[in-house]
Amino acid sequence: MYPILAFMLSTLSLHILTASASDPDPLQDFCIPNTEFSSTRTTSFNIVTCKNPKEVSPEEFVFSGIKSPGNFSDTGFSAISVNPAVFPGLNTLGMSFVRADLKAGGINAPHFHPRATEIAYVVQGKVYSGFVDSKNRVFAKTIEQGEVMVFPRGLVHFQMNVGKSPATILGSFNSQNPGTHKIPNIIFGSGVNDELLEKAFGLSLEQISVMRRKLIFPKKQSKF
């Protein structure tokens, strides 16, 4: 009970401090999307029709989908993202969260969230965790059960289970749509021109192909 309470207090602090930094403020207490009507896309976000508050039930503010880990990748990492698409009660509240699990030795590859700051709370295990700032300085430390680390918005961050048992992390974002860009995917899975990659990383075409095969990315046609 106390670890979860600590996580919730940390999450509340994040949203109080950064309330104006990300999603727009809501214009009502809550907005459960009315699935009977389609949404309207604007340049910034989708405008959805809200259910009549009198028709909203308590169940729409409860999510039970993170009781167990999700499917693990080859890197020993599992993530279950929770946003308004799967948990309508979050809609317009300016937040989302994730359950992440790491097998012993598993990694969450370097990545960043362009639209949100993240708070990561360790539920169990020992996790080497950190981020890199815009001056290329690394801020990293092994954090354990009950500890929290913050990853500033837009900065590359990473995690690795350095314990002998599985690790579980709850991450909270101050945006309902934080976005995720994984560095390996961006470099080798987006179709960036091979010649540019050769010059940028000092890799041969064969080495680039090997990297793509390891990451299970099919070759995409590059365009200038």
The encoded tokens of residue 211 equal 């990297």
111 is in an annotated binding site: yes
CA proximity to 62, closest of 38, 32, 92, 17 = 32
> What is the rounded CA–CA span in Å between residue 120 and residue 127?
11
> What is the rounded CA–CA span in Å between residue 10 and residue 141?
18
Per DSSP, the three-state class of 46 is strand
> What is the rounded CA–CA span in Å between residue 181 and residue 224?
21
Determine phi and psi for 92, rounding to 5 degrees: 70, 5
108 is in an annotated binding site: yes
113 is in an annotated binding site: yes
- Cβ within 8 Å of residue 147, ≥6 positions away: 121, 122
Number of H helices, E strands in the chain: 4, 12
DSSP, res 176: S
Annotation: binding site: 108, 111, 113, 118, 157
Annotation: binding site for Mn(2+): 111, 113, 118, 157
Annotation: binding site for oxalate: 108, 113, 118
